[in-house]
Amino acid sequence: MMKIPRIEPETVITYNAHEDFAEIYTCYPPMIRKLDKLAQENPDEWKILKAQSGGKTYNCPKELVSFRKGSIKRTATQKEAAKSRMEKLNLNSQKGEAV
């Protein structure tokens, strides 16, 4: 694969209202690895359309493309409560108990 300057790797997602599939082009190595894994594990939904030097183009049902609002901001108290719950879950799973 051709070496691309750190500032240039991009991912472009294209779809429209009249087609059922999205086309994704990327030359960003972590995204290529992620999409290659999806294509390998879910060949009915994810396809590699084209592999050229520096990037790959994929195809998937457009309902698999999602956008999120952003990360949730938690207070220190909420973080501590979540940590306690996780520690309790981990302890119970090590003992083989149901939660």
Does residue 37 fall inside a structural domain?
yes
Q: Decide if 69 is inside a domain.
A: no
Q: Average pLDDT by consecutive 10-residue portion of the chain (99 residues)? A: 72 95 95 96 96 93 91 90 92 73
Report residue 40: phi and psi, to 5°: -70, -40
- For the chain, the domain total comes to 1
What pLDDT, on the 0 to 100 scale, is given for residue 56?
A: 97
d(CA 59, CA 21): 7
Which pLDDT does position 96 carry in this prediction? 72
pLDDT at 7: 74
Encoding tokens for residue 82? 């979540």
C-alpha to C-alpha distance for 43 and 16, rounded to whole angstroms: 22
32 in any annotated domain: yes
Tokens 């149901």 sit on residue: 98
Domain that holds residue 56: 11-64
